[in-house]
Chains A and B, each alone.
Chain A
């Protein structure tokens, strides 16, 4: 019995629901069409749709499945919890980030004006969604954090709440869609740093996480 590498282990674990991956493929195809054949804002619109899907994909839920014992072989081996959690985040975010990369390639091939600035904005937005959705969903069931985040954004939209009333980086963390418009690069950097800190805080808590069994408790 050899010890499995964390990346290989989580690829085998099918972290994403089949319907979520199917939705991603549909959104990617629509996005590719919008980017290649649509108006100049095709990439932003396509990534906007993709970010909603990524909220669900990235919130794949660690503790819930870990406490069913599904990750026991990985966490028992002396791989280091932080490495395992980093791998879990990467595999959780991978489908959405791959789709984003394909959209960006399509935009580059099309030679859209101002693509570099847009690419940076969408890259920051995708990272923030991937990091915050994963961290927020760490102790929840799969997709729950994505659902709650989408619902909160929807409620704020319906009630016409001014998201920008909060300090700029926090507003962008809550609503990363705003990063796809022209934004001060320092604010973008600060927002990305906040998301990275959130991610690191969860990784650093890993050694103290109790993986007790839900079914035997």
Chain B
């Protein structure tokens, strides 16, 4: 299977609320898939199912064989605030000499730090990022975009959810719109830049 990740007919409910309804998506090596959708559309749940953190009620989640290393980052608020920066980095083999606790960093710096750890090294892994550009300054944004392009070129499969359409457009090879718990490929429209195609699809999803 060339696909790093395949979600087939995945359905997930939390109590009476159906968050994902028969979702099908495939992420291949060397491609970056942008996941767009309104708040509450189920993007975070979908990424966490893809990371193996949330268990689907129905459907299957398949990873390529041998199982790829999954690099998942759910945002700066998922970092433990009381742990020292250097100690956290050391867990993942990254050397950073900083004795401050993660909670002492600014929001943007926490986000940058978390991404720096998750994207350290190289490989053909599966990268799952939830709103990765949130809180980053222009330098951080440029670094992330360039890092993701490098990973994609190296053959990694990437799935990113974001509302920042221009940043997604700079990295992703195709886009999927998550609406009412279902995935819809964003249609290619001639003579329209991709960001505008995304914006149109997004606006349609909000109506």
Q: Footprint of B on A, CB under 8 Å? A: 1-4, 8-9, 12-14, 65, 68-70, 72-73, 75-78, 207-213, 215-217
Inter-chain contact B54/A211, CB cutoff 8 Å? yes
What's the least CB distance linking B26 to chain A, in Å?
Answer: 20
What's the least CB distance linking B110 to chain A, in Å?
Answer: 12
Inter-chain contact B14/A76, CB cutoff 8 Å? no
CB-CB nearest in chain A for B119: A1
What's the least CB distance linking A64 to chain B, in Å?
Answer: 12
Q: Footprint of A on B, CB under 8 Å? A: 14, 44-45, 48, 51-55, 67, 69-75, 77-80, 82-83, 87-88, 90-94, 117-121, 130
User: Which residues of A sit under 8 angstroms from B121, Cβ to Cβ?
Assistant: 1
Task: Please report the C-alpha to C-alpha distance between residue A92 and residue B130 in the assembled complex, in whole angstroms.
Answer: 30
User: Which residues of B sit under 8 angstroms from A73, Cβ to Cβ?
Assistant: 72, 91-92
Task: Please report the C-alpha to C-alpha distance between residue A217 and residue B42 in the assembled complex, in whole angstroms.
Answer: 9
Inter-chain contact A2/B77, CB cutoff 8 Å? no
User: Which residues of B sit under 8 angstroms from A1, Cβ to Cβ?
Assistant: 71, 92-94, 117-121
Task: Please report the C-alpha to C-alpha distance between residue A212 and residue B130 in the assembled complex, in whole angstroms.
Answer: 13
User: Which residues of B sit under 8 angstroms from A78, Cβ to Cβ?
Assistant: 67, 70
Known A-B contacts A1-B120, A69-B77, A70-B79; A77 and B54 likewise in contact (beta carbons under 8 Å): no
User: Which residues of A sit under 8 angstroms from B74, Cβ to Cβ?
Assistant: 69, 72, 213, 216
CB-CB nearest in chain B for A17: B82
What's the least CB distance linking A127 to chain B, in Å?
Answer: 28
Which interface residue of B73, B78, B93 has the most chain A CB atoms within 10 A?
B78
Shortest Cβ-Cβ A-B pairs, 3 listed: A69-B78, A2-B93, A211-B53
Inter-chain contact A76/B93, CB cutoff 8 Å? no
User: Which residues of A sit under 8 angstroms from B120, Cβ to Cβ?
Assistant: 1
Task: Please report the C-alpha to C-alpha distance between residue A207 and residue B53 in the assembled complex, in whole angstroms.
Answer: 9
Task: Please report the C-alpha to C-alpha distance between residue A207 and residue B56 in the assembled complex, in whole angstroms.
Answer: 12
Task: Please report the C-alpha to C-alpha distance between residue A72 and residue B48 in the assembled complex, in whole angstroms.
Answer: 9
Inter-chain contact B92/A76, CB cutoff 8 Å? no
What's the least CB distance linking B126 to chain A, in Å?
Answer: 10
Inter-chain contact B80/A76, CB cutoff 8 Å? no
CB-CB nearest in chain B for A65: B80
Task: Please report the C-alpha to C-alpha distance between residue A69 and residue B75 in the assembled complex, in whole angstroms.
Answer: 9
17 example contacts (A-B, Cβ-Cβ < 8 A) are as follows A1-B117, A1-B121, A14-B80, A14-B82, A14-B83, A65-B80, A68-B80, A73-B72, A76-B51, A76-B53, A76-B72, A208-B55, A210-B55, A211-B53, A215-B77, A216-B75, A216-B130
Inter-chain contact B14/A68, CB cutoff 8 Å? no
Known A-B contacts A1-B120, A73-B92; A212 and B45 likewise in contact (beta carbons under 8 Å): yes
Inter-chain contact A12/B88, CB cutoff 8 Å? yes
Inter-chain contact B51/A9, CB cutoff 8 Å? no
Known A-B contacts A76-B72, A213-B74, A213-B78; A4 and B55 likewise in contact (beta carbons under 8 Å): no
Inter-chain contact A212/B52, CB cutoff 8 Å? no
